[in-house]
Amino acid sequence: MMSASMPLRAAAARVLAGIAAAVAVLVALAATPATAETDLRARCSAMAAEAIEDVNLLSAVVVERKRGMKPYCRVLGYVRPAINFEIRLPIEGWNGKFYMAGCSGACGRVRADRRGPSNSTRDAQRRGYAVATTDSGHWGQHGGDGVWAYHNRRAEIDWAERAINQTTRTAKELLRRYYGRPQERAYFAGCSNGGRQGLIEAQRFANDFDGIIAGAPWLDLRSVNLFAWLYQKGTNGGGWPILERPKIDLLGRAVTAACDAKDGLEDGIVSDPEGCDFDPAALRCGGTKVNGDCLTDKEIAAVRAIYAGPRNSAGEPLYSGGLPKGSERNWPLFLSTGTTDTFEANVLRYLAFEDDPGGEYDPRAYDMDKDPERIKFMSRIVSADNPDLSAFRDHGGKMILYHGTADALLPYRRTVDYYDAAVAKAGGAGAADRFLRLYLVPGMSHCWGREDVGPVQADFLTALENWVEKGQPPADLTATEERNRGKGRDRSRPLCPYPLAARYDGSGDADAAASFACARR
Residue numbers annotated as active site: 192, 407, 446
Segment (H or E) for 293: none
**CA gap 311, 367 in Å, rounded:** 11
Taking Cα atoms as reference points, which of 191, 157, 177, 444 lies closest to residue 324?
444
Strands (E), 6-111: 55-63, 72-79, 83-90, 97-101
Segment (H or E) for 221: none
Cis peptide before 117 (omega within 30 of 0): no
* Angle ∠(211,467,392) on CA atoms, nearest 5: 35
**CA gap 309, 318 in Å, rounded:** 8
Amino acid identity at 424 = A
Helix 297-308 / helix 223-234 crossing angle, nearest 10 deg:
180
CB-based contact 229:309 (threshold 8 Å): yes
Report DSSP state, residue 478.
E
Cβ atoms within 10 Å of 490's Cβ, excluding its own: 13
Strands 130-134 and 83-90: antiparallel
